[in-house]
Structure 1
Amino acid sequence: MRNRTTTMAIATGLLLATLTACGGGDTAAGPEETAAEAPAVTTPTSPEPGKYEQTWPTRYADTTCGDYLTAMDDHQRWVLAADMLSGARKTDGAAGLPADSEVDRFQQDIATACEPIATAKTTEIGVSIYLTDATYKP
């Protein structure tokens, strides 16, 4: 029993470290331009982000369930779920990306788990779901 507890603690630590590294953060690509350097260009709409492109600016480790449920849009929630599930599966030896249907389910499971606990961190929720639901493992 002690070995199982130790193994679970190590696995939880590794997954939390993996999922904490995922996420937004500083996305600046280079120095800012001033109005004197480049004329302002008005575009009617912004281009859509790529399928796996995260536009949420906050690190997942700093993102709360309240953020997940109210501040993030559907694309941001989906990419968070894809990032977390992919990272967790890689720690278990998976080489490829999970199927979209698995990401959809993981996204919904995070939303369900977040509903009663607005202050919980999404990384904690993601680790808990991954460790308790064996169907997510590769």
Structure 2
Amino acid sequence: MQRKSGRLLLASGLLAALVGAAPAWAQAEADAASVARGKRLFMRCAACHEAVAGSKLVKTGPNLHGLFGRSAGALPGYQFSTDLKAAGFVWDEAKLDAWLVKPTALAPNTTMAFVGMTDAAERKALVAFLRSLK
């Protein structure tokens, strides 16, 4: 009986591992699809923002490559609004999502001429794309 229960435990453990792996694959595919969608959505932003590491191209808005973990209003070589410099936060998913909804809620006198992105799925994809730029 011990051999049989040992095989059952092994089989159930393998089954649990295989079942547990399926969501990880699905999540990885969903993440890749979200990043790809975000990259397409970024074309709306590209008129004013660069997203290439080390780019010296001067556009109306700051380079967004490596945005996550950066203090708001603190990219060397870019002149931010006084409000954004004084905002006192570090860019993360939640702050960027809030910014994309309504920039003036975080920096009332921002120089960014953008009224907001209402579609939560689009914001999530754009955030995923920008998060992927490291």
Q: Same fold (TM over 0.5)?
A: no
Q: Which has the higher contact order (CA 8 A, sep 6+)?
A: 1
TM-score by length of 1: 0.31
TM-score by length of 2: 0.32
Greater Rg by CA: 2
